[in-house]
Amino acid sequence: MKPTLLVLAAGMGSRYGGLKQIDPVGPAGEVILDYSVHDALSAGFGKIVFVIRRDIEEAFKTQVGRKYENRIQVEYAFQQIDDLPAGQPVPEGRVKPWGTLHAMLAAKSIVNEPFGVINADDFYGPGAFQLLADALKARESSSGEFILVAYPLAHTVSLHGTVSRGVCEVEADKLKKVEECHEIHPVASGIEINRGGQVETVSGETLVSMNTWGFTPDFFQQAEIGFAKFLADMKDPLRSECYIPTMVQDLMDAGQAEVEVLAATDHWLGVTYPEDKEAVQNGLAKLVEAGVYTNPLWS
């Protein structure tokens, strides 16, 4: 059975200032997703599921999704703020999405095989998709043995503002801890991060999650339980979000999951701020020059 690739594309792009998922960055006008789908196809994924919002459905399908429909099976799931456990109301005044775990849960009814998870606006490189696909093909449908393709933190920061990352502790290629950290930016002595309100400096070689996960379908049931608990315990009903790394950590703490960490072999590229776009364009142009990709990408 070929694995599925679940693409989280519902982000609002507030810091970037627009719908960055469909912003051209390649030499022939390609978007970052073009490279991800291309690499997923080459690696052996059999289906792509895009998690989007209803208000961007027409633009996304027209400008992005339809390019792939004759190449691979394409399906859509919709992250909606009112998609909550039965009887759970949306807090008055809440407009912010519920986070990456909630976005992933939107696809629970259409994903029944081992699956990878990526962000729509991150470039991961062909090696990451091959690592993920090979590992997923070896997984059973219900195993509790998950996968993370991790990147060195120094390769994932922006020179134009702070970012958030899942900072990892790894031992013998197994994930021991992943913690969502914020306000991450480079400083002279390394990388400064905010870990639960405590600011510290870490090495640029510290591995981080870029939401390049591999799961078996049983994760959806565990995630539903975890999301319900998040709603019951959240401190800020208007702004709190539920993240995939937090759910994974809870499962590891409970002895219900083990995560194999695979070190990425490619350089990550991404756009968090408008000023990041030039670096992505230059990075992709170099890969085309090196023969990693053709120009245009889709012939």
Q: What is the pLDDT of residues 233-262, one digit of tens each?
A: 999 999 999 999 889 999 999 999 999 999
Pairing of strands 73-78, 269-270: unpaired
Quick one: which H or E segment has residue 191?
strand 190-195
What one-character-per-residue DSSP string does 54-101 give? GGGHHHHHHHTGGGTTTTSEEEEEE--TT--STT-PPPTT--S---HH
Q: Which residue has the tokens 């991961």?
A: 124
- Taking the C-alpha atoms of residue 73 and residue 95, their distance in angstroms, rounded to an integer, is 32
Q: What is the mean pLDDT of residues 206-217?
A: 95
What value does the mean pLDDT of the chain take? 92
CATH numbers and ranges of domains, the chain: 4-289 (3.90.550.10)
Q: What is the mean pLDDT of residues 64-87?
A: 93
pLDDT at 8: 95
pTM score of the predicted model: 0.91
Residue 18, pLDDT > 60, answer no
pLDDT at 232: 94
Nearest to 21 by CA among 70, 59, 47: 59
Nearest to 203 by CA among 172, 169, 244: 169
- C-alpha distances out from residue 31 to 74, 116, 270, 279, 285, Å: 17, 20, 11, 14, 13
- C-alpha distances out from residue 102 to 20, 99, 240, 247, 260, Å: 21, 6, 12, 11, 23
- Taking the C-alpha atoms of residue 185 and residue 232, their distance in angstroms, rounded to an integer, is 32
Q: What is the mean pLDDT of residues 138-148?
A: 83
8 A C-beta contact, residue 34 and residue 68: no
pLDDT at 12: 46
Q: What is the pLDDT of residues 91-104, one digit of tens each?
A: 999 998 899 999 99
Cα angle 183, 257, 100 (rounded to 5 degrees) comes to 40
* Helices 218-233/244-253 angle, 10° precision: 100
Length of the chain in residues, anyone? 299
